[in-house]
Amino acid sequence: MSVGEIRVEINSDQDIVIARQKGRVMAGELGFSSGDATLIATAISELARNIVSYARTGQIKLKGIHGSSRSGILVIASDDGPGIIDIRQALRDGFSTSGSLGLGLPGVRRLMDEFEINSQPGKGTMVAVKKWRQ
Amino acid sequence: MEVPILKQGAFLIATFQAALSDADLNQLRMGLVQQVVKFRSRAVIVDVTAMDVMDSFASRTLREIAHMIRLRGAETVIVGIQPEVAFAMVQLGLTLEGVATALDLEEGLAYLNERFRITK
């Protein structure tokens, strides 16, 4: 079964719910356990929330990925927002500039298997995370 | 999507749906505190059995609800956190410190009845 690619435009808090629901459905279609689908949906929720909180608009892309011996899901959150000045600081537990809990990015990194971030001040932010099927 | 709030004697019971947006959660927070005042409720049970994702915003809102209700002199019990959701919350570093929790609605009611010694 092939699962294509889904894009969810993130413009409001309602879209956070839509993105995580689509992510859960796709994770299920890709054969993830219900527990892993919950971790993936939670990570998507946090990434989408960062978009709404910091950039206001952006998008979440969901994609099934297939390696030689394993398969998984790729989630890319991107926006053209203000970007992150100090990425190392943003990846530390407890750091936040929007008055939120500040657990977003380090938490997402713990929920997923692979984590990549690209951001420059004024040029937006791209976070790509992967989870492989157990 | 609005969260139904049921009055059950001295307690209020709010049942979360799966797809609550931030705006829904904010509305619930105000609604619950207002109803605790209106009905002079002793406690609130928040049933999150249907919630399949508890992210940082949802868990912070739950903590805020519990603290606001405590300032009113009433108590909050969160019931029905699913095992998978609990696992994700721990991974994410989310805690509900200082907030009472129970396995399900029945256990939550039993806890409150014991606490307030309400006899049938």
Q: What is the pLDDT of residues A63-122, one digit of tens each?
A: 999 988 899 999 999 999 999 888 888 887 765 554 444 547 888 999 999 999 999 899
CA of A36 vs chain B CAs: smallest distance (Å): 8
Given the candidates 3.90.420.10, 3.30.360.10, 3.30.750.24, 3.40.309.10, the CATH classification of the domain at B5-116 is 3.30.750.24
- State whether CATH 3.40.50.2300 applies to domain A5-132: no
B104 contact A CB<8A: no
Q: Taking CB atoms and an 8 Å cutoff, what residues of chain B touch A48?
A: none
Query: Is the per-residue pLDDT at B72 higher than 70?
Result: yes
Q: Where are the domains of chain A?
A: 5-132
Query: Is the per-residue pLDDT at B118 higher than 50?
Result: yes
CB B54: neighbour CB atoms within 10 A? 25
Partner residue opposite A20 with nearest CB, options B53, B84, B89: B53
Burial class (CB within 10 angstroms; exposed 0-12, middle 13-18, buried 19+) of B46:
buried
What's residue A99's pLDDT? Answer: 46
Q: What is the rounded distance in angstroms from the CA atom of residue A40 to the CA atom of residue A30?
A: 12
Strand order in the sheet with A71-79: A5-10, A58-66, A71-79, A125-132, A114-119
A102, A96 contact by CB (below 8 A): yes
Q: Where are the domains of chain B?
A: 5-116
CA of A39 vs chain B CAs: smallest distance (Å): 5
Report how many Cβ contacts below 8 Å link chain A to chain B: 72
Tell me the three state secondary structure of residue A130.
strand
